[in-house]
A and B are shown apart, each in its own frame.
Chain A
Amino acid sequence: GQNIDQPTEMTATEGAIVQINCTYQTSGFNGLFWYQQHAGEAPTFLSYNVLDGLEEKGRFSSFLSRSKGYSYLLLKELQMKDSASYLCAVMDSNYQLIWGAGTKLIIKP
């Protein structure tokens, strides 16, 4: 079966760095997405990785290792507004997105 695993909840301090991991087992691979979802709101697109390596976008970076079925989202200089759920999703061989359950990130002052 297809499976996406990510931690349920993480806590970090304002100004610090946090890494949210995602491991996956899917039928084929056509890219991995990270979305941010604030409570009660829609998911918003953060990043897309299809090749191995690190993609940096401001305070957020996303890493992919296809051979290990592994990705992480790195958030630097954490701000209170980064408190949200972070969703990992993999596009399979049929171009369907398989979603993880999300990681709730709590930022403390």
Chain B
Amino acid sequence: DVKVTQSSRYLVKRTGEKVFLECVQDMDHENMFWYRQDPGLGLRLIYFSYDVKMKEKGDIPEGYSVSREKKERFSLILESASTNQTSMYLCASSAREGQTDTQYFGPGTRLTVL
């Protein structure tokens, strides 16, 4: 079974703080993704990575950065948290399986920025 873990289920931070969200997968997947999920909206892609030390911007990268130093770990960084970054953050990983590319998700981190 694929396992994707995230460092925290719930996190409360103050405006201006630097926030680190960690994601680890144990299936040797090449691809890793960070999404945010807000009520009434589909999942929105923040950043993704197809390989170690490689990153690509998704649809909403502003205010975020990422780091992928090891294949199994993908970190999302909020340089200076703002209240509009209060959201559910979901990490996912996938391997190239022909065209399938099924993404497997971690349990999510619900971040509140006060």
Interface locus among B13-21, B66-74, B76-84, B101-109: B101-109
Contacts A31-B100, A50-B99 given; indicate if A100 touches B105 (C-beta within 8 A): no
Interface centre among A8, A33, A96 (most CB of B within 10 A): A96
Task: Give Cα distance in the complex from A100 to B44, angstroms.
Answer: 10
A-B contact count (CB 8 A): 48
Chain B nearest CB, measured from A47 CB (Å): 10
Instruction: Provide the residues of chain B in CB contact with A40, threshold 8 Å.
Output: 108
Contacts A99-B43, A101-B40 given; indicate if A42 touches B105 (C-beta within 8 A): yes
A102 adjacent to B42 (CB under 8 Å)? yes
Q: Select from chain A the residue with minimum beta-carbon distance to B88.
A: A40
Secondary structure of the A side of the interface?
A: loop
A96 adjacent to B100 (CB under 8 Å)? no
Chain B nearest CB, measured from A68 CB (Å): 21
Instruction: Provide the residues of chain A in CB contact with B108, threshold 8 Å.
Output: 40-42
A101 adjacent to B107 (CB under 8 Å)? no
Instruction: Provide the residues of chain A in CB contact with B103, threshold 8 Å.
Output: 33, 45, 97
B107 adjacent to A42 (CB under 8 Å)? yes
Q: Which one of A30, A42, A91, A100 lies within 8 Å of B106 (CB-CB)?
A: A42
B56-71 CB mask vs A (1 if < 8 Å, else 0) is: 0010000000000000
A99 adjacent to B42 (CB under 8 Å)? yes
Residue numbers of B with Cβ under 8 A of A are 4, 40-45, 58, 90, 99-108
Residue numbers of A with Cβ under 8 A of B are 4, 8, 30-31, 33, 40-45, 48, 50, 87, 89, 91, 95-102
